[in-house]
Structure 1
Amino acid sequence: MRCDLTNPSRDGYGAAGQRRTVLFLACLGAVCAAAAYVGAVPTRKFGHDLFFLLDNGWRVFNGQRPHIDFTSPWGALSFLVVGAGMALSHGSVNAIGYANALFAFVLSLWGYRLSRHAVSFVPRLFICLYLALLLVSPYSLGWGALNSSHAMYYNRYGYVLLGLLMIEAFRRTAVTEWEERFGGASTGVVAALLLFLKANYFGVALLMIAASFLLGRRSQARLTGMTLGFFLTSLAFLTYLDFDAAAFYHDLQLAAGARAMSFSYKELLIKLSGNAVYLLFIVLLSWQSSLTVGRQDNDAPGFTYVLLGFFFFALDMVLLCSNQQFTELPLTVLYSLLLVVEVHRRSGSKFRARKKAPFRVERLALVAGATFFFVSFFTQFYGLAYGLVQKTWPSDSSSLVRFTEPRLSPLLMYDDSSEPNSNGKRYVNYINSGIRILLEHSRPSDKVLTMDMMNPFPYSMGRSAPRGGMAAATYNYTFSDGHRPSEAWYFGDADIVMVPKRPASPIDGLLKNYRSGLDRRFFLAAESDMWFLYKRR
């Protein structure tokens, strides 16, 4: 059985190939320039999540490391990307946009090189631009392109890296041993990056690699490259972490135990039912594609396309059920285009030669597959375009409450009726009030911890973050009663603990587990209408 979702095809290395590369670079440059210009997008959803990136990027920018200096269910990759943006922007809030633009440029170029002998230029162009748009479009996947936000951006990183793995893993054996080894090395590097991004994406990567083995991608050259790529990339991250693999594993254990507490079969059923139509579509598309190729090709894939359709949909659902995401299936979308490209390659000449009704049905199926891809493509494009317009001409900007701290002044936050405390004027007032009491009752050298989901003050005030604490504190998601950092590690070397009277996120779990430690280690030093300020005894 052979199932090639892409086809080795040289676009040429002469003038035509150069023109195509220039066109791709121009399009990619425009996408990345737009992302950099948007920077920190005017935020309409999950406003507090912006400080997840800013706080942890600030920690890394100032020399702290996840797992070593603070507990994190997420690996170092996303924080390093934002830290690089901090370096480029001199600590600006727009570091997020710069970081995403840089990462999108690198990964899209990576995909362009990886697919050089895999698909012809037009699908290659759109696949790589899709990966770039998927990474930089400033809204949370599954929440609508008009709900601008940088929340959960690590999920976009994961999907794009898995897209690179798909391009390599589900093609036929490369034309040369060198290309086969290069492709294997790429997949090994991607797998290691996903390991140090978020565990669920690494698990999906392993399933993809295993599936590629079942489809015949088991050459010695590929296995050698994959092993080397994974080993060297993992070695680089472990070097960064002082080879403290135990700390890394400990944080993953905490995350797994805490996340298990919030698993719900009801949520699983809601997500499955909400996406069932996509399963039906991709199965029908795969089935029709199998029939089309079977009529024209002696080396037909049988029902492998259908099985792969189920497989990629299942992988998307695994990620949906482990993410705060209810729809959008990037892996299934990418599979639909790769499937269309493969079927057109095998049967395209037959479509042009014959006009019978079955062939019109088959052409319609290919159009449907391409349409499915381009709906997602233009959704990502629209999200970026909307963010660009809002950055240039923000709506109702005169009525917005603004941050008082100068380095936060570029941030615009809009109200969200579904989560008022973590968005818009309430959240801006929450931070402004906290900054005022800190300016009155603390020294610039004091390290501040906030007993809330996010800790906005070290970055906002340009102070050193305390060693210890969590990257984000969400009860039964990043910690639980039985899976949590110790009191000593949670409070770390913080000099001040800020406890909100009206928290941005529920803090009952934090108070339940750490209130006694707070009272033993700190005393109430000041109070405002929105905050309690505790100082170390």
Structure 2
Amino acid sequence: MSRPNPAVLMGILVATLVLLGGAAVLKGGFYIGKHEGDTLHMMQIVFRMAEGQVPHRDFMTPIGGLAFAPIALFVKSGMGIGMATLWSQVLMAALFLPAVWWVAMSRLSPYLAAFFGIVVMVLMLALVHGEAQRSVSISMHYNRWAWGAAFIAILAALVPPVHPRSALVDGIIIGLMASVMVLIKVTYFAAFALPVVLALILTKQTRALIVALLTGAVAAVAITLWLGPDFWLAYLGDLLTVARSEVRPQPGEPLSAVVGAPAYLGGSLVAIMGVILLRQARADVGGLVLLTLLPGFFYVTYQNFGNDPQWTLLLAVLLLALRPQGEVTNAMGWNMRGALNICAAMALALGAPSFFNLAYSPFRHFNVDVSTYAPLLPRGGIHEDLQGAALRVERVDGRVALDAPGMALAAYANAEHREDPPQFMGETFATCNVELGLPTVFDAISRDLEEAGLAGGKRIFAADLFSSYWLFGDFEPLVGGAPWYYGGLPGYASADYLLIPICPVVQDVQAQVLKAIEAEGTDGLAEIRRTDLYILYSKG
């Protein structure tokens, strides 16, 4: 196998970083086309961290702090949240670049090394989470970053180095990538840790395995010394809460569908065929490890919103890297190098729509007409550089039940087809969910509370998916609150008010929250304000 030119490969990676990162930051602001709620969730976490709060310990989230720390770093330095988000992607890509360069240069042919490096850089710098829907969004950026770390660790473990060889460097990279997965989204670590260890053992990279374990241990000790052992206990507690949650046990299709539904069956079959072909090509270790990777690929895809199987690109790289160099045929006389080429091409074809969507999202963002956008935080000052499509920010739409009591089709109502409406303290609420204009709803309620003299640094616990009002007005965040509700009553004890939106984001969540509050007890709750938008209770 010919060796990639180190300088050329580095040049390709740097050029990709400059091209995609530059297209993003040169816009001068961040303009999203969807997922406003997810963006507000991110903003809550970032602003808390910029003020010195620690995820899991000071507020609840199942996402690791490293997913938001780079953004918080730039916000703390005085940058607006929009530009901070874009620069954080550039920073993460720059930090990943040396590892990508080393792993690709030491294991892959020139063209394959360049392709792998570009794929990882695209994952780090894209401005959409994947799939084929073109609207720009920062939602779930941490999934992309975690995929990048997984790609590097898996390739380094499964494909032994050819030139140069350095167990020390390989082990440090693998250990750091494993640590990154833990600190961004632990699902990735849980899915891929054992296959990576198995790959290192079977490929006889024992020294690299030892170094990787030591690197991970050093990282864990360093974080424990910095944040204290209670950090890990709190992180575990958040993960367990989400695992037991009825709100969002999985954000998309069930696991069986992610493996066998029409949209995914092709990828599953290609992956299984890849395992068979590697075994027939006498790449027994590659086939065995790939087989152990498949459950992780499926599980991570199942856990990620959109269920985008981005592992197909890595599958193609692994199949091409593990091809036999000489003439190898199977029992049917197939040339196994050619067969693996075809299998890899099929994997690339399946991953192409998502990849190209990721790859040119920064350029779509660069070309947006900013006159059609509006700030997510209308009074955000420097943070007005994060904007959403005005149609989605300023137009407020809701979904109501036309067969609810008092509506035109009430006679046709069938309770079997609808969840029970929320009830609280003897009152039943009409069916309604906000569909568009979430920032406007938050802003309107916040302004109304301020005009009523009910703000002034108070804390609001909302019976809804989000309690984001402190981003929009003179309020404080909940102590130990959850930027995204997963269950329980996180932060309720610190709240001054309970706010019940008349039309919440997710009414099923509202019903669950109100049941939990009634189970805890409503003594001390007193209604102090009622409008067409909300009911407000003081906690006494």
Q: Establish whether TM, by shorter chain, passes 0.5.
A: yes
8 Å CA contact 1:35, 1:100 repeated in 2: no
**Pick aligned residue for 1:301 from 277, 283, 297:** 283
**Pick aligned residue for 1:369 from 344, 354, 359:** 344
Residues 1:346 and 2:325 aligned together: yes
Q: CA deviation at 1:68?
A: 1.2
Q: Structure 2 counterpart of 1:335, which letter? A: L
Give the match's secondary structure for 1:254.
Answer: helix
Q: Structure 2 counterpart of 1:405, which letter? A: R
Give the match's secondary structure for 1:196.
Answer: helix
1:109-165 CA-to-partner distances (Å, cap 9, x unmatched) read 3211333312233222221221121233233344x3324322222222221111111
Structure 1 CA distance, aligned partners of 2:398 and 2:314? 33
Q: CA deviation at 1:282?
A: 2.8
Residues 1:321 and 2:294 aligned together: no
Structure 2 CA distance, aligned partners of 1:180 and 1:255? 38
Structure 2 CA distance, aligned partners of 1:176 and 1:383? 32
Partner of 2:405: none
Cα 1:374–1:28 change in 2 (3 A) is farther
Give the match's secondary structure for 1:117.
Answer: helix
8 Å CA contact 1:191, 1:206 repeated in 2: yes
Q: Structure 2 counterpart of 1:346, which letter? A: Q
Residues 1:469 and 2:486 aligned together: no
Q: CA deviation at 1:451?
A: 3.2
Structure 2 CA distance, aligned partners of 1:456 and 1:197? 23
Cα 1:422–1:215 change in 2 (3 A) is farther
**Pick aligned residue for 1:331 from 311, 335, 350:** 311
Higher normalized helix content (fraction of residues): 1
Structure 1 CA distance, aligned partners of 2:516 and 2:49? 27
8 Å CA contact 1:57, 1:80 repeated in 2: yes
8 Å CA contact 1:313, 1:329 repeated in 2: no
Structure 2 CA distance, aligned partners of 1:436 and 1:267? 41
Q: CA deviation at 1:524?
A: 3.5
Give the match's secondary structure for 2:62.
Answer: coil
8 Å CA contact 1:447, 1:465 repeated in 2: yes
Q: CA deviation at 1:19?
A: 4.3
Partner of 1:40: 30
Give the match's secondary structure for 2:505.
Answer: coil
Cα 1:520–1:159 change in 2 (3 A) is farther
Structure number with greater CO (CA < 8 Å, separation at least 6) is: 1
Partner of 1:3: none
Give the match's secondary structure for 2:258.
Answer: helix
Cα 1:264–1:502 change in 2 (3 A) is closer
Matches within 5 A, 1:77-476: 77-87=66-76, 90-142=79-131, 144-172=132-160, 179-219=166-206, 221-244=207-230, 245-258=232-245, 262=249, 267-274=254-261, 275-288=264-277, 291=280, 294=281, 300-302=282-284, 304-326=285-307, 328-343=308-323, 346-347=325-326, 363=338, 365-366=340-341, 369-370=344-345, 372-373=347-348, 376=351, 379-386=354-361, 388-390=363-365, 392-394=367-369, 397=372, 404-406=378-380, 407-408=383-384, 410-413=386-389, 414-415=391-392, 424-425=436-437, 427-440=438-451, 441-461=453-473, 464-473=476-485
Q: TM-score, normalised by structure 2?
A: 0.79
8 Å CA contact 2:275, 2:287 repeated in 1: yes
Structure 1 CA distance, aligned partners of 2:149 and 2:469? 32
1:303-356 CA-to-partner distances (Å, cap 9, x unmatched) read x54444443332211112233333x3223321212321332x714xx69xxxxx
Q: Structure 1 counterpart of 2:325, which letter? A: R
Cα 1:419–1:288 change in 2 (3 A) is farther
Residues 1:491 and 2:492 aligned together: yes
Partner of 1:531: 534
Structure 2 CA distance, aligned partners of 1:273 and 1:322? 16
8 Å CA contact 2:59, 2:481 repeated in 1: yes
Structure 1 CA distance, aligned partners of 2:100 and 2:52? 31
Q: CA deviation at 1:447?
A: 3.8
Give the match's secondary structure for 1:58.
Answer: helix
Q: CA deviation at 1:271?
A: 2.0
Structure 2 CA distance, aligned partners of 1:94 and 1:533? 35
8 Å CA contact 1:168, 1:183 repeated in 2: yes
Give the match's secondary structure for 1:411.
Answer: strand
Q: Percent identity?
A: 15
Higher normalized strand content (fraction of residues): 2
Partner of 1:11: 4
Q: CA deviation at 1:266?
A: 8.1
Q: Structure 2 counterpart of 1:435, which letter? A: S
Task: State the Cα RMSD in Å.
Answer: 3.6
Give the match's secondary structure for 2:500.
Answer: strand
Q: CA deviation at 1:463?
A: 5.9
Q: CA deviation at 1:254?
A: 2.0
Q: Where in structure 2 are there 5+ consecutive unaligned residues?
A: 400-432
Q: CA deviation at 1:270?
A: 2.2
